[in-house]
Structure 1
Amino acid sequence: MKVIIYTDNIVKNIKKAETLVNVPVSLMFKDFYEDIWKHLHHRVDNDIFSLHFEDSVCYSIGKARRNQKGAVVTTTYDVMDCVVDRCIKNIYIPINAFDNREGVSLFEARQIAKMVRSCDDNAHAYGMITSGCLNGSRPDMQRLCKIWATLNGDIESISLGGSFWLGQNENLPKFISDVRIGEYMLFGTIPYNGNENKLGVNGIELWTKVVGVYPERSQILLDCGYSMADMNECCCFDNGLQYSDSSSEYTVMDVINGRCSDYCIGDFVVFTPSYKSLVKLRYAEHEYR
């Protein structure tokens, strides 16, 4: 098995995302697919959110480094650590707006933002809202404006994530600094949105090899199990196959048309991996095209 990365498609998705919103698009590179960036950086000039890259905004609380230009904080103690000790000037404060993740209340956000300014006159505080990762809820424009009205003067703008925001049909207010994308960049998909006109193209494929053919039970065996990918969540390109089960090393696929003769040992069966499968596939062989 191996992972095929189509860099042209990823660039196309970034460019299309920029046409779907009236604000800049930032790119999210989680640590389990960071390696893709070095194959793209010479072709795009978007701002980057990452765990390790120099001059990027660190998306993970408490892990920002001195060579990064931004950090995410949720307490005033985090501000002291990032602004004073690590000399990071751009501080992002996640706000709870239906995502129920790391976001803080508006009261807490104001206190954190005031601490940013008190630590360094040259430091900047920004709001940060994430939607679409855990559920389909999001703040509507009225709610966004109320959040801004409460925090205006304490923060400079609000960054929105993720790809979910590309599917909306409203122009974003001027206080929105950017929309952060990850899933759309890689797969061209928008969570909780079925508008095909806004979808991009798939940029990642999982190629698995047939290692067993069993006509008597109308099944084939693939060389990729649950230790390497969440195969039950990956989409198979072959309509004649249906997921049956996985062991740690292998996946069993039902041949639903009964024609096992269509498959030979050594053939490839191609999938679109799920976003979560990229965590496990980080250790697989990668080929860039």
Structure 2
Amino acid sequence: MKVIVYTKNIIENIEKAQTLVNVPISLMFKDFYEDIYGHIADKINNKIFGLHLKDGICYSIGKAVRSQNGAVAVTTYDAMDCVVNKCINNIYIPIDGFDNREGVSLYDAEQIARMVRACDDNSHAYGMITSGCLNENRPSRQRLYDIWNALKTSIESISLGGSFWLGQNENLPDFISDLRIGEYMLFGTIPYNNDKHKLGRNGIELSTKVIGVFPDRNQILLDCGYSMADMWDCACVNKELVYSDCSSEYTMMACCGRASDYCIGDVVTFVPNYKSLVKLRYAEHEYK
């Protein structure tokens, strides 16, 4: 079992994403797929959000280090620690988008932003909104304007995420500085939107091998179980196979045709779901 990463597809997805919105595209590299950045860094010129990436913006609260250009803060203490102790002058403040995430109230956002600007004349405070990752709740266009009007004397702009916004068929307001994407970059998909004209190309595949064939029950056994991926949520590229069950190490697939058509060593390919990338971070990777 190994992960195949198609860097050309990922780069093409980034380029296509830029055609779908009227603001710059920023890229989110969560730590469990952060290694991909090194394989495309010389071919992109986007703002980067990552946990460990030097010169990037650390998306994880309280984990930013001096070598990074920005940090996320949800309290005045977080922000002051970044500006004063870590010399990080770009502070992003998550704002509540009514989606049960880490966003703070408009009042708290204003207090944090004012403190950032008071700490250092070279410090900058930005708003940050994320939508479409945990659920389909998102601020309405009017809500975006309300947020901006309430905070525009304290923040410089608002960074908007994630790939969900690529499917909204509307120009984003001038105060939106960038749109952060992750899912679309990797898979070419847009949460809660199946418009084929907007979809990109899949950039990650999970390649598994057949290690057992059982003609009597018309099933095959694969060398990847739930300790490595959420196999029940991964899309099998081989359409004639249907997920049956799995253990920690292996997965059983039912054959719509004949199991006897398969041999030990045959390859069965999946498109992993986003959450499986957490488990697959330690798997063998091949970059193409």
TM exceeds 0.5? yes
Q: Over residues 86-109 of structure 1, what are the superposed CA-to-partner deviations in whole Å (9 max), with x where a residue is unaligned?
A: 010000000011221110000100
Deviations 1:35-79 (A, max 9, x none): 111110010000100001111000000000000010000000001
The alpha carbon displacement at 1:272 in A equals: 0.2
Structure-1 separation of matches of 2:45 and 2:62: 26
Matches within 5 A, 1:1-289: 1-257=1-257, 259-289=258-288
Q: Which amino acid aligns with 2:144?
A: L
Contiguous gaps of at least 5 residues in structure 1: none
In structure 2, what residue type is equivalent to 1:196?
A: K
The percent identity for this pair of structures is 72
The one-letter amino acid of 1:117's match is R
What's the CA shift for 1:118?
1.0
TM-score normalised to the size of structure 2?
0.99
- State the distance in 1 between where 2:118 and 2:100 align: 28
Following superposition, which runs of at least 4 residues in structure 1 exceed 4 angstroms of deviation?
A: none
Q: Tell me how far 1:137 sits from its aligned partner.
A: 1.1
- Give the number of aligned pairs: 288
Counterpart AA for 1:93:
I
Q: Matched residue of 1:197: which SS?
A: coil
Give the CA deviation at 1:177.
0.3
CA deviation string 1:6-59 (max 9, x = no partner) = 000000000000000000000000001111111100100001000011110000
**Partner AA of 2:182 in structure 1:** G
Question: In the TM superposition, what whole-angstrom CA distance separates every residue of 1:174-203 from its partner, at most 9, and x where no partner exists?
Answer: 000000000100000000111111100000
**C-alpha RMSD over aligned residues:** 0.6
Tell me the SS of whatever aligns to 2:41: coil
Unpaired runs of 5+ residues, structure 2, are none
Cα separation, 2, equivalents of 1:181 and 1:166: 9
Q: TM-score normalised to the size of structure 1?
A: 0.99
Measured in 1, the distance between the counterparts of 2:226 and 2:165 equals 31
1:239 positional shift: 1.2
Rounded to whole Å, the distance in 2 between the matches of 1:65 and 1:117 is 20
Deviation at 1:140, TM superposition (A): 1.4
Query: C-alpha distance in 1, partners of 2:145/2:153?
Result: 14
